[in-house]
Structures are given as structure tokens and as C-alpha cells.
Amino acid sequence: MRWAFLLVIILAIATMSLASAQSSRENSTLKGTGRPGVDGAGETGLVDGAAYDRAIAPYVAKARASYPAAKKRFLTGLPPGYTFSVWIRLQQNDKKNRMLAEDVFVVVETIRDGKVTGRIANIPENVTNYRQGQRISVPKSEIRNWIIVRPDGSEEGNFVGKFLESESKRR
């Protein structure tokens, strides 16, 4: 994988994973990873799911507004070596019936009838009903971010990831 894409995936796992209980104000500890698939490589500390969603909301809106142009480019055919991925939130209930959520990238294979189909790029840690490489289809309304990674590792889009990266550098 390319470094830029890896950084985005790492940020998705380390910073964007959410475990919110019945109240969106409840905090939860999230385990981050330094590399996909390596447990315990870092801790993000307590994350307020509602505050997190408020912080990324303008960037999600920007990604959603620009998605139609990115989709058109994908459907027209990206140059060889380019990868188009979308960022979605996976959810499931835990044994105590609390909602667990994790934001992951899906490498797009097809876009048809308002649905995006692809394979999960991340190694999910909080939502255990999903696995890396699993094929998944989601409605376009669930897309929260998108990224096109070029062969040299540079990227287009990724509005949420760039925001989160700038925030992590500030700390």
C-alpha cells in the first residue's frame, strides 16, 4: 500500500473509531494502531462521539458535495494504478446492547443503482461483525469521505483525513 493511503487508514482506525453507548455524550476509550493489523500500537484516549461528529461535519459535507465529480471520474475510468476509496461508518451492537461504530475505508469496485460496492481496506477493531477484505455494499448516502490515491502516493479528496491529520499534529 502507498504511504498516504496507509496514513489515512491509520488515522481512520486510531482517531475515527467510535464506541458510543445509548447516550451520544458517553465517552469511550479507543485503541489506535500505529499500523493496520497491529494491536495496541497507540491509545487515542477518551473520545466524545458527538463532539467528534460535530468537529468533522464541515469536512464530511465538503466530501459529500464533491463526491459526484469523483464518482464520475471513477465511472469514466481512472488511470492505471489509481485507487478510489470511500469512507463509511460500520455499526453493530455489543453484548450490552450498546452501539459500536468504526469508520473504515472501502476500496471501490463498482458504483451502481445508488450503491457503492467494494472491499473493506481497514482491519476493524471495534466492530467484530466485519473483517478486512470483506465485500460490502452501501448506499451513497452513507459515504462520509472519499479519496483517490495516485501511484506516487499523492491523494485527492480525503477532506476528513486531512483535517484529522492537521489536528493530530497540533497535539
pLDDT of residue 48: 67
pLDDT over threshold 60, residue 21 = no
Tens of pLDDT, residue by residue over 27-85, are 332 333 222 223 332 233 335 678 889 999 999 999 999 999 999 999 999 999 999 99
Return the ∠ at Cα 93 (arms to 90 and 98), rounded to 5°. Answer: 115
Tens digit of each residue's pLDDT (9 = 90 or more) over 89-141 = 998 888 888 888 889 999 999 999 999 999 999 999 888 899 999 999 999 99
The pLDDT of residue 47 is: 54
Question: d(Cα 85, Cα 157) in Å, to the nearest integer?
Answer: 10
What is the model's pTM? 0.73
Cα 21 to Cα 18: distance, rounded to the nearest angstrom: 10
Q: Are 59 and 40 in contact (CB under 8 A)?
A: no
Please say whether the beta carbons of 26 and 7 come within 8 A: no
- pLDDT of 171: 72
At residue 33, the pLDDT reads 29
What are the extents of the domains in the chain? Answer: 3-170
